Structure 1
Amino acid sequence: MNFKIGDFVRFVDEAIEGHITSFLSDGIIGVTDDSGFEIPVSVTKVTAVHGDMKRADDDGDTTATTLVGEFVEKGIYVAVTGEQKEGLARFWIVNETSFQLLISIGETQAGKQKGIFSAMLSPQKTVEFHKANFSAVGKWPTFTIRIIRHSDNLHSAHAVLEEDVRIKPVSLSEPKTRLDLLAEKAWVTQLDIEKKDIGLQRLKDFGK
């Protein structure tokens, strides 16, 4: 089978699944799972999974990620988890919507932009896109986040979502928020709010 970047695959011999994020040498591909780690694996050791379906033996859950019920159009977040005293911050995209998201994230260096992460994210899923030390928060980059929202279901038309996000030290003085899809509380900002509200949201969440 001819795979491409973004394809959702499952390991043949292990209970691991994720999206293809790179092609390495000698028939090896990189598969990034929900934890955000890229795992090298032979292309012969994975199989395509259409629609992000789960096997019947996966913890007894036979539900596909295609959601049933009300179509959720809002709820795309950047979240930062971790404890400052422990040193490591983890950055997430959280998708509480019914859309499948095509994500591209870059950072600016010397006036030019460099891509640092790309993925396809299913509805009601999260993906880790960056790690950094709390001790260097003042040097954390400004992320340019671009997201295309896709669904086979009937929904309102949405333009490409594009936001520049930077977290300043003062942002970390704000209280954390609980999101259902994350195991721990996080500093959170919502990306898909109305334009007129974005400045106020960033003032609250990011200290701007």
Structure 2
Amino acid sequence: MRFKVGDKIKFLDEVGGGTVISVIDHRMVKVETDDGFEMPVMTSNLILDYRSGQHDDAQSKASHPAALFSEAVVPEKPAITEINPWGKVKDAPGVYLAFEPHEQQWILTGNLDVILINNSEYDLLFSLFLLQDDEMRGVDFSSIPAHSKMVLENITRDEISNWTTGAIQLLFHADEPKKIYMPAHINIEIKANRFFKEGSYVQSSMLRGKSLLVNLISMQALTVASDQEAVRKYNSEMAAQQSVVKKEKPFISKYQTNVGEAIVDLHIAELVDNIAGMSSHDMFELQMNMFTKTLKSAMENEYEKITFIHGVGNGVLKNAIIKALGDYEGLENKMASIIKFGVGAIDIIIKTKSN
């Protein structure tokens, strides 16, 4: 409950009462007791003395009707303050809903401030809906400046259930935005038992005290309707791609010896640094894979001849290569130069359309 200067009050935890003579902040007021003493008191320890209030109000109406009219027509402004004027905000940019207990020493008792936090560089327009009496009701709508927070309500523990289910709609505005975001709709679902566990209340760089903090949405999770930086970057990248067209070198080029010619050595020592743990079958499969990969690359890039050095051995690899060539069209094979390679190499002649 919010008190104002002149309110007649009673103490909850002791006999007696007094009058509010000044408002220290939304949690504490200074009271002049009926005995004439002045003392600061937490608002959670006070209630209005309605009987005295009715009498005083009646007198006030008779003696100061203009002042009463003025008070009735001027609405109370919501409490909007900077998120963290005393330090650096470390929490991720976004929008948060916080429930901050008045009694920080006895965090599971007393009233709570319901605070909407706009931790972003945009002005925030919001519309808040809560499920009350099995019906969704629009309970508040307003705007919060960038890097600011608004106290939406001061609630008792009995009123917590009214704030556990609802929805909020958000709209972000800036005069010169780096990004334009789509409006956001977030459903609010908070388990009521969280309010009665001390571990639910955490310290945040956005508030002075501990609070039950709900991250409604982060700025990264918002849908971008227009990203000026991304558009400029994309246009720059496209221009660079158009001016310099990079073509990836074909696999066969590392074995090229002359224009349209290549030599590939299939000796296992040329393919791997260490054959430890490899079986004869593993080595054979590796050699055939290299044969297939280089031959395919040579054909795709219109090479005319590729020489495979298979070694002498028992002819297994050579015979496998000759057999595999039967799966291709437009190829001829012959023994490679004995003077240059001995009897352990084979030439593959690739007949292109231009040949």
TM superposition score category, shorter chain reference = 0.5 to 0.7
Q: Which SS does the other structure have where 2:194 is aligned?
A: helix
**Contact 2:80–2:148 (CA<8 Å) still a contact in 1?**
no
Q: Say which structure is richer in strand.
A: 1
- Of residues 77, 99, 103 in structure 2, which corresponds to 1:32? 77
- Of residues 167, 183, 188 in structure 2, which corresponds to 1:144? 167
* Residue of structure 1 equivalent to 2:212: 187
Cα gap change, 1:89 to 1:117, in 2 (>3 Å)? same
Q: Say which structure is richer in helix.
A: 2
Q: Which SS does the other structure have where 1:170 is aligned?
A: helix
Cα gap change, 1:110 to 1:31, in 2 (>3 Å)? closer
Cα gap change, 1:75 to 1:177, in 2 (>3 Å)? farther
Distance in 1, matches of 2:161 and 2:132, equals 15
After the TM superposition, which segments of 4 or more aligned residues of structure 1 sit over 6 Å from their partners? none
Distance in 2, matches of 1:32 and 1:162, equals 26
Letter aligned with residue 121 of structure 1: I
* Pairwise CA distance, 1:137: 3.6
Distance in 2, matches of 1:104 and 1:74, equals 20
Counterpart check, 1:88 vs 2:111: yes
* Residue of structure 1 equivalent to 2:236: none
Cα gap change, 1:137 to 1:168, in 2 (>3 Å)? farther
* Residue of structure 1 equivalent to 2:151: 128
* Pairwise CA distance, 1:110: 5.2
Distance in 2, matches of 1:111 and 1:135, equals 17
Matches within 5 A, 1:56-67: none
Distance in 1, matches of 2:148 and 2:132, equals 30
Q: Which SS does the other structure have where 2:193 is aligned?
A: helix
Distance in 1, matches of 2:207 and 2:112, equals 14
- Of residues 189, 196, 202 in structure 2, which corresponds to 1:177? 202
- Of residues 102, 124, 137 in structure 2, which corresponds to 1:114? 137
Once the two structures are superposed, residues 33-80 of structure 1 have per-residue CA deviations (whole angstroms, 9 ceiling, x without a partner) of 4259xxxxxxxxxxxxxxxxxxxxxxxx9xxxxxxxxxxx93211111
Letter aligned with residue 28 of structure 1: V
TM normalised by structure 2 equals 0.34
Root mean square deviation, CA, Å: 3.1
Cα gap change, 1:35 to 1:122, in 2 (>3 Å)? closer
Once the two structures are superposed, residues 164-188 of structure 1 have per-residue CA deviations (whole angstroms, 9 ceiling, x without a partner) of 2133233232342333332212111
* Pairwise CA distance, 1:161: 1.7
Taking only the aligned residue pairs, the percentage that are identical comes to 15
Unpaired segments ≥5 residues, structure 1: 1-24, 37-60, 62-72, 196-208
Letter aligned with residue 206 of structure 2: L
Structure label with greater radius of gyration = 2
